[in-house]
Amino acid sequence: MDSLLIAADIALRTLSGASHAARACPRSAAEPTALSEDERALSGALMRVNHVGEVCAQALYSAQSLATRDEALRRQFDRAAREETDHLAWTQQRLGELGARPSLLNPLWYGGAFAIGLLAGRAGDAVSLGFLVETERQVERHLEGHLQRLPAHDTASRVIVDQMRDDEARHADDAAAAGAAPLPAPVRWAMRAAARLMTATAHRI
């Protein structure tokens, strides 16, 4: 019952925008440069997609933590989830600075990600960790793509995305070291297709 209440609390805080970062938001040493209207719109859309990714990360880690019976693994999931909470708060803050809004479909993204995370967790810890590795590797590549697409002088967004990318890579390495099982190619392809659909939708809605 305690675990279910914790999962419900995480969902409410995530979807209400009440999450708070434990780490200070990364800041660029460079002086901020004014963005054009088009640049601001592009940065806002990209950071909305990143915020959706962090909404999904909260759901995935919450579900996987709920599903495992290994206390050490649960603590690992919870540590990574706390860093993902930082990402969630940072991207939400940056959206506000850009005058952009979060995705209107965040409850849908959260519910879908929670269901997937619970399914992966029920398949066993090795599979759950393998799913986590593949997810984080895909997110890492996605963030690298955003670093290429963000306006060059939007340093405020770029430093956030750069730190997020480093954290995601470490989460994947930690999951691999904990005994992740490789996922079959069709599963990886399906995950990539679902991610493309989500990012294309969140870019606009």
If you average pLDDT over every residue of the chain, what do you get?
87
140 within some domain = yes
Cα 124 to chain center, whole Å?
22
Whole-model pTM? 0.89
Structure confidence at residue 2 (pLDDT): 64
84 within some domain = yes
Lowest mean pLDDT across 69-73, 180-184, 200-204:
200-204
CATH of the domain at 169: 1.20.1260.10
141 within some domain = yes
195 within some domain = yes
Section 48-72 average pLDDT: 89
Count up the domains in the chain and report the number: 1
171 within some domain = yes
Section 12-30 average pLDDT: 81
Structure confidence at residue 3 (pLDDT): 67
Q: How confident is the model at residue 188 (pLDDT cuts 50, 70, 90)?
A: confident
31 within some domain = no
**Considering only CA atoms, which of 89, 10, 2 is closest in space to residue 54?**
89
Domain that holds residue 158: 36-202
pLDDT in tens, 116-140: 888 888 888 898 899 889 888 999 9
Residue 128 half-sphere exposure toward CB, CA atoms < 13 A: 27
160 within some domain = yes
Nearest-angstrom CA–CA distance, 116 and 135 = 11
11 within some domain = no
